[in-house]
A and B are shown apart, each in its own frame.
Chain A
Amino acid sequence: MIDERRVSPLAHREPLHAGDFAHLAEDAFRGIVMVRAAPIHLAAPLQAVTGRTLPIRAGHADLGRRCAVLWLGPDEWAIMTAPDAAAQITQELSAELTGYHHQIVDVSDYNTVLTLRGSRVRELLAKLITIDLHPRHFARGTGVSTLCGKAQVWLVCREDETSAREPLFEVVVRRSMADYLWCLIADAGREWAMPVQDPIGQVPLHMPV
């Protein structure tokens, strides 16, 4: 059941634009399901329920129109799906995995998704992330769990320079860190004239040196 009064973690923010260089927006209420199971038990049920192939290589995601499946660990994945689709996937996958050791949790309300697209987003994110974001290394279908500033995020490359006019990244972050991350990305985008965003509570984005 969806509560119509729900408020997304970044409902107080408006999409930000820095020319054609970078666009930041919240993709609110996306469905996110965490799955832990042995890959040998999970592959077939996942295919049946979501139509996706279980990624078994670290740092990979299987992207689809309705669902994306992100590798998070040797026995852990995240399913990212459309708003309000998480509950049904949770239910169907749980039913399919009955009898096998597994854990499936709908964490949609716990997270939110930031979308970042534009010609300079790789350079923007590189200021905040220690992973190599060169298109050769971080192409479409790459997804990792890492740190973005002080926030733990999942970073997924949905489109790259070969599949679209400009790259598109999704950054999944916990609710409590969402505003910090929003302001931090805006700060990193200052170089391309992204508008300054003041963090809630005036919490400083950077520690005094």
Chain B
Amino acid sequence: MFRIRCPYCGERDQIEFGYGGEAHIARPADPDALSDAQWADYVFMRTNTKGLFAERWVHSAGCRRWFNALRDTATDRFVATYVIGEAPPLPVPQLVPGDQAPDPAEAIPEEAAGGGQR
């Protein structure tokens, strides 16, 4: 059992919260312009960080608001929580340009990346 600080309600037990996956993934402005591989990358591919990780949580049994959290995936310790729209209070590796996995559309031929029929 551990406690999570909701940015709106304060500290509450973890059973009141739900997990929402990696944070700060922007929906592509023009999905029609993307290849299937690029779209699949947006929908499915997530960084698999060991260490500080920005992720989304929802206080489902409390104020029912979504917020972002920085959690250390190695120790399961919550370092910070902050409201949606704010920048993370600490630098996180997943948001550093060039530190992410290469774009699969560039790295792999499209058929191999599971681009599908069109």
Interface residues of chain A, those whose CB is within 8 Å of chain B, are 58-59, 72-74, 76, 130-131, 144-147, 152
Q: Are B12 and A76 in contact (CB under 8 A)?
A: no
Additional A-B contacts beyond A74-B8, A147-B61 (17; CB < 8 A): A58-B9, A58-B10, A59-B10, A72-B63, A72-B64, A73-B63, A74-B65, A76-B64, A130-B12, A130-B13, A130-B15, A131-B12, A145-B64, A146-B61, A147-B15, A147-B16, A152-B61
Q: Measured between C-beta atoms, what is the minimum distance from B65 to chain A in Å?
A: 6
- Is there an interface contact between B9 and A144, defined as CB atoms closer than 8 Å? yes
- With A58-B63, A145-B62, A152-B61 known to touch, is A73 a contact of B8 (CB < 8 Å)? yes
Could you tell me the distance between the alpha carbons of A74 and B61 in the complex, rounded to whole angstroms?
15
- Contact residues in B for A152 (Cβ distance below 8 Å): 61
Shortest CB distance A209–B (Å): 17
In the A-B complex, the 6 residue pairs with the closest CB atoms: A130-B13, A73-B63, A147-B61, A58-B9, A145-B62, A152-B61
- With the chains together, A59 CA to B11 CA distance in Å? 11
Which residues of chain A come closer than 8 Å to B65, judged between CB atoms?
Answer: 73-74
Residues of A within 8 A of B64 (CB): 72-73, 76, 145
Number of chain B interface residues as a range: 10 to 19
What per-residue 1/0 map shows which CB atoms of B5-46 lie under 8 Å from chain A?
A: 000111011011000000000000000000000000000000
Tell me, rounded to whole Å, the shortest Cβ–Cβ distance linking A130 to chain B: 4
Q: List 19 A-B contacts (CB under 8 A).
A: A58-B9, A58-B10, A58-B63, A59-B10, A73-B8, A73-B63, A73-B65, A74-B63, A74-B65, A130-B13, A130-B15, A130-B16, A131-B12, A131-B13, A146-B12, A146-B61, A147-B15, A147-B16, A152-B61
Q: From A147, which residue of chain B is reached at the shortest CB distance?
A: B61
CB-CB under 8 A from B15, the residues of chain A are: 130, 147
Contact B16 A146 (CB under 8 A): yes
- CB of A172, distance to nearest CB on chain B (Å): 13
A147 to chain B: which residues have CB within 8 Å?
15-16, 61
**B residues within 8 A CB of A76?**
63-64
Nearest neighbor of B61 in chain A, beta-carbon distance? A147
For the complex, what is the distance from the CA of A147 to the CA of B62, rounded to whole Å? 8
Given A130-B13, A130-B15, A130-B16, are A145 and B8 neighbors across the interface (CB < 8 Å)? no
Bound: A145/B10 CA distance, A: 12
A59 to B64, CA, bound (A): 14
Which residue from chain A places its CB closest to the CB of B15 in the assembled complex? A147
Contact B61 A59 (CB under 8 A): no
Would you give the shortest CB distance from B36 to chain A, in whole angstroms? 38
Give Cα A130–Cα B9 distance, bound, in whole angstroms. 14
Residue numbers in B under 8 Å from A130 (CB-CB): 12-13, 15-16
Contact of B61 among A58, A73, A145 (CB under 8 A): A145
